[in-house]
Amino acid sequence: TASITKGAEKSTNEVIPLIDVVTKSLCQPREVLVDIFSEYAEDTEHTYIPSCVVLNRCGGCCNDEALECVPTETHNVTMEVMCHRPMVKKGPILLSFTEHKSCICR
């Protein structure tokens, strides 16, 4: 930990080591919240509960601004969500989503 002095006040802040900062910022699959409507945009008459799901998607920094963190391997995952449509009984349905297994800067 590092000690930072501000006037007469003293506070202690944890310093995250460089290796941890670099490791966490690398281009890699990471858990993100994805809005179901962004994946199923054509399904405007339904309401989903929950409205978003947790998926592994590529994210992170590339050393060159011209490069983008993109998936090199994906797989489908099926999740059960509640589906509600006006004037129709709601119930659980299965929806398929793409998850990213590995990523690269390209």
Q: What pLDDT was estimated at residue 43?
A: 78
- What are the tokens at 53? 């799901």
Query: What's the CATH code of the domain at 95?
Result: 2.10.90.10
Please name the helix (run of DSSP H) or strand (run of DSSP E) that holds residue 46, with its range, or none.
Answer: none
Residues forming a β-bridge with 37: none
Phi, psi of 41 (to 5 degrees): -60, -30
User: pLDDT digits over 62-86, tens only?
Assistant: 999 999 999 999 999 999 999 988 7
Q: What pLDDT was estimated at residue 98?
A: 98
Task: Domain count for the chain, please give it.
Answer: 1
Q: Where are the alpha helices (DSSP H) in the chain?
A: 18-25, 36-39
Is 0.85 topped by the overall pTM?
no
Q: Is 98 a member of any domain?
A: yes
Residues 35-40 have a mean pLDDT of 94
- State how far the Cα of 16 lies from the Cα of 50, in Å rounded to an integer: 34
Could you list the residue range(s) of the whole structural domain that residue 79 is in?
28-105
